[in-house]
Amino acid sequence: MSVLGGKKILLGITAGIAAYKTASLVRLFIKLGADVKVIMTPASKDFITPLTLSTLSKNPVHSTFYEKEDENELWNNHVDLGLWADYFLIAPATANTLSKMVNGTCNNLLLATYLSAKCPVYFAPAMDLDMYMHPSTKNSLAKLQSFGNILIPATSGELASGLVGEGRMAEPEDIVSFIESDITSKLPLKGKKVLITAGPTYEAIDPVRFIGNHSSGKMGFAIASAAANLGAEVILISGPSNQQIQHSFVKRINVISADDMYTACHKYFKESDIAILSAAVADYKPKNKADQKIKKKDTTLTMELTPTKDILASLGEIKEHQFLVGFALETNNEIENAKGKIKRKNLDAIVLNSLQDKGAGFATNTNKITIIDKNLIEKPFELKSKVEVAKDIMNEIVTKLI
Examine the pLDDT at 81 and tell me if it is beyond 60. Answer: yes
> Is the same domain home to 178 and 212?
no
Residue 332: is it exposed, middle or buried by C-beta count within 10 angstroms (0-12/13-18/19+)? Answer: exposed
Q: What is the pLDDT of residue 161?
A: 74
> Does 241 map to a domain?
yes
Tell me what the mean pLDDT of segment 193-220 comes to: 94
* Same-domain status, 174 and 213: no
Burial of 121 (0-12, 13-18, 19+ CB in 10 A): buried
% of the chain with per-residue pLDDT over 70: 96
Contact (CB, 8 A) for 235 and 195:
yes
- Whether 287 and 395 map to the same domain: the answer is yes
What's the total number of domains in the chain? 2
- Quick check: is 135 in a domain? yes
pLDDT for residue 200: 95
Q: What is the CATH number of the domain that holds 101?
A: 3.40.50.1950
Looking up residue 253, the CATH number of its domain turns out to be: 3.40.50.10300
List pLDDT tens digits, range 154-166: 998 877 777 777 8
Among positive and negative, which fits the CA dihedral 81, 83, 85, 91? positive
Q: Is 17 left (phi over 0), alpha (psi -120 to 50) or beta?
A: alpha
Do 27 and 169 share a structural domain?
yes
**Are 286 and 139 in a shared domain?**
no
17 within domain boundaries: yes
Q: 162 with 296, same domain? A: no
Give the pLDDT confidence score for residue 69 in this predicted structure: 57
Of the pLDDT bands very low, low, confident and very high (cuts 50, 70, 90), residue 71 is low
Co-location of 179 and 218 in the same domain: no
The band of 67, judged by pLDDT with boundaries at 50, 70 and 90, is low
* pLDDT of 276 over the 90 cut: yes
pLDDT of residue 24: 97
Sequential DSSP letters for 331-343: SSSHHHHHHHHHH
Clarify whether residues 333 and 200 are in a common domain.
yes
Determine, yes or no, domain membership for 1: no
Whether 275 and 366 map to the same domain: the answer is: yes
148 and 249 in one domain? no
Residue 3 in domain: no
Over the stretch 305-324, which tens digit does the pLDDT of each residue have? 999 999 999 999 999 999 99
77: pLDDT strictly greater than 80: no
Neighbours of 286 (CB within 10 A): 17
Q: What share of the chain is helix, strand, coil (3-state, %, to 5)?
A: 35, 25, 40
Q: Are residues 105 and 207 in the same domain?
A: no
The answer on 178 and 256 residing in a single domain is no
For residue 73, pLDDT beyond 70? no
| CA pair distance 83, 207, nearest whole angstrom | 58
Residue at a domain's end among 122, 153, 185: 185
Per-residue CA distances from 11 to 65, 98, 113, 125 (Å) = 16, 15, 11, 14
Average pLDDT over residues 2-24: 94
pLDDT value for 167: 84
Q: What per-residue confidence (pLDDT) applies to 85?
A: 95
Of the residues 127, 158, 185, which one is the last residue of a structural domain?
185
Is 124 part of a structural domain of the chain?
yes
142 domain-assigned: yes
Output 170-175 pairs: Cβ under 8 A, ≥24 positions apart: 170/124, 171/21, 172/21, 172/22, 172/24, 172/25, 172/28, 173/28, 175/25, 175/89, 175/91, 175/122, 175/124
348-390 residue pLDDT tens: 999 998 777 776 767 688 989 999 999 999 999 999 999 999 9
Q: What is the pLDDT of residue 299?
A: 80
Rounded to an integer, what distance in angstroms lies between the CA atom of residue 320 and that of residue 83?
Answer: 44
Domain that holds residue 330: 193-401
DSSP 44: G
Domain boundary among 185, 216, 248: 185
Q: Is residue 121 domain-resident?
A: yes
The residue annotated as part of the active site, out of 213, 229, 242, 375, is 213
Find the mean pLDDT for residues 207-223.
93
- The mean per-residue pLDDT over the stretch 252-272 comes to 97
Percent of the chain past pLDDT 90, that is, above it, reads 77
77 as an active site residue: the answer is no
Lowest-confidence region among 63-72, 268-277, 283-292, 371-380: 63-72
Stronger pLDDT, 67 or 55, i.e. the higher one: 55
Q: Which residues of 307-327 are buried (b: 16+ CB within 10 A; e: fewer)?
A: ebbbbbeebbeebeebbbbbb
Residues linked to residue 204 through DSSP beta bridges, in sequence order:
210
* pLDDT on residue 68: 59
Residue 70 has pLDDT above 70, yes or no: no
pLDDT at position 166, please?
83
- Write the CB contacts of 336 (distance below 8 Å, at least 6 apart in sequence): none
- Mean pLDDT, the chain, rounded, equals 92
